[in-house]
Amino acid sequence: MTLISIITINYNGYSDTVELLNSLRAHLSGKGYAYEVIVVDNNSAGNDANLLTANFPWVKVIHSPNNTGFSGGNNLGIINSQGDYYLFINNDVVIDSDIIIPLLNRFNINSNIGVVTPKILDYSTKRIIFAGAKPLGKYMIRIHYFTDIESSHNCFPIPYAHGSAMMVRKEVVTKAGMWPEIFFLYDEELDWGLSISKAGYEIWYDSNASVYHKSAMTTGKNSPLVHYYLTRNRLLIFKRNLKGWHKYCSTIFTICVSIPQRCLIFLFNRQYTLAKATLYGLFDFIKGSFYQWEKIEPS
């Protein structure tokens, strides 16, 4: 029987993780497949790992001694899993139906499909926030998600999967490599998706499966942390995946136009910590410093 390894990361988010686990237990039928659930606790400040172990004996809880970020946590989950497929799902996601069956059905159509991602709806408003993605341009400046209004197709190939929920064949990890830990947080799914495509696999969106995402519960929707990593890592995407003229144009445009424009907007709105975080992201990229960023204090 096909075994699905469901991998999620907890970082100071015990209540969200509990809600995810309860929704998995309630809605996964196990019809035609078996599953294991792995929670990687990324060195939470509290007693999350022990509480999860005590309250969810059917879950394998892995306590990481360090916060290794989104990619590092997922990789630790892979190392401790036994599945034929990996379902990577954020701990601030819940389900209300069995998403495994439609995702597996999509994989069974074509052996070249390496990744399938479901429809993603906002947890509070139930508005669709991800229904696939437009093809990436040559410069990768704009990343555009489809919504239900823009996309008239239920299932189609896409250039990259959404990191909140994605199922991956085990062999994909063997051939394309594991999650890129250099990013730590944000844009790692885009970089990994590009590596997966280069390895010869297709990435698909399938609306027959859907999840509900609370969005940015750990990092905050508009926090300095978010702007630091988005700035640094988008430049890193260009460096790792573009070549020649396309790489230089994208990098120069981002450094000389996009980043100054954002900083001016932050300064105009007196969001000084966001401007500072954005500049830190730029400077660390230039220096080649890729580490876990320490939050700056508001000023």
| Per-position pLDDT tens, the chain of length 299 | 999 999 999 999 999 999 999 999 999 999 999 999 999 999 998 899 999 999 999 999 999 999 989 999 999 999 999 999 999 999 999 999 999 999 999 999 999 999 999 999 999 999 999 998 888 877 776 777 777 655 556 899 999 999 999 999 999 999 999 999 999 888 999 999 999 999 999 999 999 999 999 975 555 567 899 999 999 999 999 999 999 999 999 999 999 999 999 999 999 999 999 999 999 999 999 998 876 665 544 43
pLDDT at site 221: 67
- Give Cα separations from 214 to 40, 157, 233, 249 (angstroms): 19, 25, 23, 35
Rounded to whole angstroms, how far apart are CA atoms 116 and 132? 10
Angle between helices 244-253 and 224-241 in degrees, nearest 10: 160
Q: Which helix (H) or strand (E) holds 197?
A: helix 188-198
Phi-psi region of 121 (alpha: psi -120 to 50; beta: other; left: phi over 0): beta
143 by DSSP, 3-state: which?
A: coil
- Based on the domain organization, do 69 and 205 belong to the same domain? yes
The three-point CA angle 157-161-167 to 5° equals 95
Calculate the CA 8 to chain-centre distance. 11
Query: Any idea what the CATH number is for the domain that residue 178 is in?
Result: 3.90.550.10
Query: What pTM was estimated for this model as a whole?
Result: 0.91
Ramachandran angles phi, psi of 54, nearest 5°: -75, -40
Note whether 136 and 143 are within 8 A (CB): yes
In a domain, 276, yes or no: yes
Note whether 115 and 172 are within 8 A (CB): yes
- Based on the domain organization, do 15 and 74 belong to the same domain? yes
- Based on the domain organization, do 193 and 277 belong to the same domain? no
In a domain, 172, yes or no: yes
- Based on the domain organization, do 115 and 196 belong to the same domain? yes
In a domain, 34, yes or no: yes
Smallest Cα–Cα separation from 89: which of 251, 209, 263, 255?
209
Question: Which range of residues forms the domain containing residue 119?
Answer: 2-213
- Based on the domain organization, do 193 and 269 belong to the same domain? no
What does the block give as tokens for 224?
């300095």
In a domain, 295, yes or no: no
- Based on the domain organization, do 66 and 174 belong to the same domain? yes
Note whether 92 and 20 are within 8 A (CB): yes
In a domain, 218, yes or no: no
Rounded to whole angstroms, how far apart are CA atoms 31 and 132? 27
- Based on the domain organization, do 237 and 168 belong to the same domain? no
**Of 179, 213, 247, which residue is a domain's last?**
213
Strand partners, 52: none
User: What's the one-letter identity of residue 46?
Assistant: G
**Of 213, 242, 263, which residue is a domain's last?**
213
